[in-house]
Amino acid sequence: MSEENNNLGDDLKKGAEDALDGAKDAAKKATEKAGDFAEEAKETAEEFVEEVKETFGSDNGENKKVLAGILGIVLGAFGVHKFILGYNKEGFILLGIFIAGFILSCFLIGYLFVWVPGVIGLIEGIIYLTKSDDEFYQTYQVGKKPWF
C-alpha cells in the first residue's frame, strides 16, 4: 500500500506540475492577447480622437452654425443660441426679457415680453441656418456680430 501511495503522490505531483505549466502558458497567452487588445484599443482611440478633431475642430464653424441655428429656433427665447456663440451679454438680455415677461404675465403687458425673445431667436436661427458656412464663420465667429 505504501508503494501505491507513493505512485499516487507522484501522479498528483506530476499532475500539479502539468497544471502549473498549463496555467503559466495560459497566463502568457492571455498577457499577449491583452497587450494586443490594448494596442488595438489605443490605435482605435487615437483614430477616434483625430476624427473628432477633424469634425468639431474645423475652422469653418459649420457645427456651431447648425447647433446655434437649431437652438435659436427651439430655445431662442432663453438665449441659448447666443451662449453657444459666446455672446453671453446678449444671451442674458434675451433670458432676462423672457423671465421679466413671465413674471409680468399676470399683467397683460408681460405676454409681449414673453414672445419677443422667442421671435428674435426664431429669426436668428433661420438666418444662421441659411447662411453659408464661411459667411456664418466670418460674420458671427470672426466678426462677432451679436444681433441678426
How many Å apart are CA 52 and CA 134, to the nearest integer? 20
Q: Could you tell me the residue range of the domain that residue 48 belongs to?
A: 1-57
Lowest mean pLDDT among 25-29, 44-48, 89-93: 44-48
- Residue whose C-alpha is closest to residue 77's, from 29, 36, 33, 112: 112
- Same domain, residue pair 78 and 131: yes
- Same domain, residue pair 5 and 71: no
- Same domain, residue pair 89 and 117: yes
Record the pTM. 0.56
User: Please, what sign has the CA dihedral across residues 47, 50, 56, 62?
Assistant: negative
- The total domain count for the chain is 2
Q: Is residue 148 part of a domain?
A: no
Quick one: DSSP state of residue 57? S
Question: Given this model, what pLDDT does residue 123 score?
Answer: 93
- Same domain, residue pair 53 and 66: no
Angle at 55 between CA 53 and CA 60, to 5 degrees: 105
Q: Quick one: cell of 36?
A: 494586443
Question: Given this model, what pLDDT does residue 145 score?
Answer: 76
First to last CA, the chain: 101
Mean pLDDT of 23-35: 73
